[in-house]
């Protein structure tokens, strides 16, 4: 059996060819309403199908937020399963935003849900929470590596409440967030062109020069668009690591719908702005 190409290598190629952009698929009730859709499974399905058909062959990375599908029960999860399959079939990479975190056999079960090759929700990468200890993620790290998938570990998130945990200082003088970044750097140490274990680092956090963001892996950066950050902010926030940033835009693109051409235009503008900001850094 051939070894699957690692997520980090596939991600680098996708961003270099399709543009450095991740579009979040977040079908929350207000957005469904703005599109003239009902807050029900039919509205969810129409919304998701429209986004997939408009952007699947253009955008490098997609990040569906699992909760917005799960709230409709099994029928909502079925919509998510189809979206994941269709996006991947069109060459898009899927980062499942589920933020799973647990210990032992439970963490292994979460990993199998999203990172096992034949699973209905198999994704190119999964967001995970390390706050039961980084070692608790071992089942996900191992299964991701086995199947050529990746992880994005919550490290320095954009929500204000995150600081009380992530910037807390350990006995060794290093913050919890910095410790997570160090773990990821160790995971990615020998990878080329880029490791498959990434960090979630908010684009709204301002100067992060006191943190070592050089983890030889991707940095998933939420907060661009509706949350206030812009592509032009990326070099200031991420410094020398800016080329490894995967900027996530959700409402900034999705609010252009339901017109498919408008969705494509919004995504293209954000990708061009990110590309220009990175080139100027």
Query: Does a structural domain hold residue 48?
Result: no
Query: Does a structural domain hold residue 227?
Result: yes
- Res 49: pLDDT: 98
Residues 79-101 pLDDT 10s: 999 999 999 999 999 999 999 99
Strand locations in 28-128 (E): 61-64, 93-100, 125-128
Query: Does a structural domain hold residue 155?
Result: yes
Which CATH number belongs to the domain containing residue 130 in this structure?
3.20.20.70
Band of residue 219 on the pLDDT scale cut at 50, 70, 90? very high
Query: Does a structural domain hold residue 124?
Result: yes
Could you give the residue numbers annotated as active site?
99
- Res 225: pLDDT: 78
- Res 179: pLDDT: 98
**Residue 11 is part of which domain span?**
7-18+57-249
Mean pLDDT of 256-274: 97
Query: Does a structural domain hold residue 197?
Result: yes
- Res 10: pLDDT: 98
How many distinct structural domains can be found in the chain? 1
Mean pLDDT of 13-42: 97
Q: Cβ distance 149 to 128 under 8 Å? A: no
Query: Does a structural domain hold residue 75?
Result: yes
Q: How far apart are CA 79 and CA 102, in angstroms?
A: 26
- Res 281: pLDDT: 81
The overall average pLDDT reported for the chain is 96
Run of H or E including 222: strand 219-224
Query: Does a structural domain hold residue 71?
Result: yes
Mean pLDDT of 7-30: 97
Q: How far apart are CA 209 and CA 241, in angstroms?
A: 11
Encoded tokens for 155: 């490290």
Q: How far apart are CA 128 and CA 200, in angstroms?
A: 9
């Amino acid at each position: 059996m051939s070894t699957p190409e690692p997520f980090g290598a596939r991600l680098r190629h996708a961003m270099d060819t399709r543009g450095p952009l991740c579009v979040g698929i977040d079908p929350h009730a207000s957005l469904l309403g703005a599109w003239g859709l009902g807050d029900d499974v039919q509205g969810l399905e129409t919304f998701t199908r429209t986004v997939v058909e408009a952007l699947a062959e253009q955008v490098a990375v997609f990040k569906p937020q699992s909760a917005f599908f799960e709230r409709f029960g099994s029928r909502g999860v079925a919509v998510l399963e189809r979206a994941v399959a269709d996006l991947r079939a069109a060459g898009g990479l899927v980062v499942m935003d589920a933020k799973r975190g647990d210990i032992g056999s439970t963490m292994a079960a979460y990993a199998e849900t999203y990172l096992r090759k034949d699973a209905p929700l198999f994704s190119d990468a999964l967001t995970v929470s390390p706050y039961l200890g980084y070692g608790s993620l071992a089942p996900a790290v191992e299964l991701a590596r086995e199947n050529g998938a990746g992880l994005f570990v919550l490290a320095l998130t954009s929500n204000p409440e995150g600081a009380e945990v992530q910037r807390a200082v350990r006995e060794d003088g290093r913050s919890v967030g910095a410790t997570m970044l160090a773990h990821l750097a160790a995971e990615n140490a020998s990878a080329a062109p880029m490791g498959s274990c990434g960090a979630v680092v908010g684009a709204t956090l301002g100067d992060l020069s006191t943190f070592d963001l050089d983890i030889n892996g991707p940095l998933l950066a939420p907060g661009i668009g509706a949350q206030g950050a812009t592509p032009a902010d990326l070099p200031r926030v991420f410094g020398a690591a800016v080329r490894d940033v995967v900027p996530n835009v959700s409402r900034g693109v999705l609010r252009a719908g339901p017109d498919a051409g408008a969705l494509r235009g919004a995504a293209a503008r954000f990708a061009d702005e990110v590309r220009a900001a990175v080139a100027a850094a």
